[in-house]
Every structure is written in C-alpha cells, then in structure tokens.
Chains A and B, each alone.
Chain A
Amino acid sequence: QVQLQESGPGLVKPSQTLSLTCTLSGGSLSSGDYYWTWIRQHPGKALEFIGYIYYDGSPYYNPSLKSRLTLSVDRSKNHFSMKLSSVTAADTAVYYCARGDYGGPSNWLDPWGQGTLVTVSP
C-alpha cells in the first residue's frame, strides 16, 4: 500500500525559502507514470494546486507560483521535494503531497500525505 509522508520545518521566516520533502513508502517513484503532486490549503480555505513532477522528471508549476517554485525528485531516496522562495505570510498553509493517478480523461489525487503545517512568521 503506497503511503506518502511530508517532512520539513514548520516555521519559516519571511523572505526565506520553504523546503519540504515527500517520502514514498510501499512503492517506487520509478514505477508507473504518475504525477507526484504538491497541494496546499490555507487555514479554513480551499485547496490550491502547487505543481507536480511527472514520473519522467518533468515538472509543472502553477503559474501563480512559478517564479518562486522549484520541484525535484530523488529516486535513490524515493522522495520528491519542493522549494518555495521569498515566502510571505500568505504562504502559511498546510502543505500536502499526493500521487496523481489517471484514467481516460481525468487525473485524480490518491493517496495523499497527512499534510504539514508551515507557518511563515518572523
């Protein structure tokens, strides 16, 4: 059974870089053509798609974050990562990683990590 787990600092200072890692267990990042995805959820708000790393290593960045975002994958460690630079309080959110699956015309996210709260504060 595939499981995902986010890790990284829970507190980041404004203007610094937020770095998170998502570690996969029960499967391999090298198997299957999945979309290894990041999503965030501001407190009490809707979900926001951040971007994904496709199984072949090619990234997609949400244009709203593209100038500050870097996604990468380390197959030897079976994890993928995100870095968001120049953070502000508006980047305070719960960050989730998830596997993007697909079938026919749709991509859906399953499973998800448990999520990690990142607070941007001095």
Chain B
Amino acid sequence: DIQMTQSPSSLSASVGDRVTITCRASQSIRTSLNWYQQKPGKAPKVLIYVASSLQSGVPSRFSGSGSGTDFSFTISSLQPEDFATYFCQQSYATPWTFGQGTKVEVK
C-alpha cells in the first residue's frame, strides 16, 4: 500500500493566518492527490482534487500544489469556519489511502 504521511499532525493558528500542510507519499503518485476537510461529527468534504484543482463552490483561499511524492495544501487567510481536520488521499493505486490528518486548532 502507498503510505501517506501528513505534517504536522496538529497546528494552532489565528484567524487571518496563512496555514500550510504537507503530505508525502511513499512512492510517486504523480498528481493523484486530493484534500478533504472534516468537521467534528461530519463527513469529509473534498476541497482540492488532482493536487491543485479547486472543487466547485470551495473558496479560493484554499489551494494545493505538488506532484510526485511531495504535496502541500494552503489556506491563505484562515477563517473561523476553517478550524477542522484536513486529510490528503491518494488514488494513484488501489487500495486508495489517506493521510493521518492534520487538526487545525484555534491559537
């Protein structure tokens, strides 16, 4: 299985901060990488697909980049509704696998 390693596992930030999360794959996955947001008690919601494409309806403060094994996800200006857990997911090879998640908390 392809292992997905996210860092950090948690971070504290303030409204307006720029936040960056990284995701590293155990082998090249080209651009088969997606990012999800999950709020407590809710299902995940896709924000970014194919590494850098913004899902319809998702605010432009969210962005993604990378290819191969190293990827990043950025929130350019953190908003109150963005405090949540974020997961990366690879679909380059089955079984699809997820990172362990990054919890973005209030500083």
- Chain B's interface: helix, strand, loop or mixed, by majority? loop
Residues in B neighbouring A114, C-beta threshold 8 A: 42-43
| B17-73 at interface with A (beta carbon < 8 Å) | 30-34, 36, 42-46, 49-51, 53, 55
Q: How far is the CB of A22 from chain B (nearest CB, A)?
A: 12
**Which residues of A lie under 8 Å from residue B80 when comparing CB positions?**
none
Interface: A56 (CB within 8 A): no
* Bound form: Cα–Cα A24–B36 in Å: 21
**A residues contacting the other copy or chain, number (CB 8 A):** 26
**Bound complex: CA of A96 vs CA of B45, how far in Å?**
12
Whether A62 and B31, one on each chain, are in contact in the complex, defined by CB atoms closer than 8 angstroms, is: no
A108 lies within 8 A of B44 (CB): no
- Shortest distance from the beta carbon of A45 to any chain B beta carbon, whole Å: 8
Selected interface stretch from A12-20, A46-54, A75-83: A46-54
Pairs A–B under 8 Å by Cβ, sample size 24: A46-B87, A46-B99, A47-B89, A47-B101, A49-B95, A49-B97, A49-B98, A60-B94, A62-B94, A64-B95, A96-B44, A103-B49, A103-B50, A105-B50, A108-B50, A108-B89, A109-B34, A109-B46, A109-B89, A110-B46, A110-B55, A112-B43, A114-B42, A115-B43
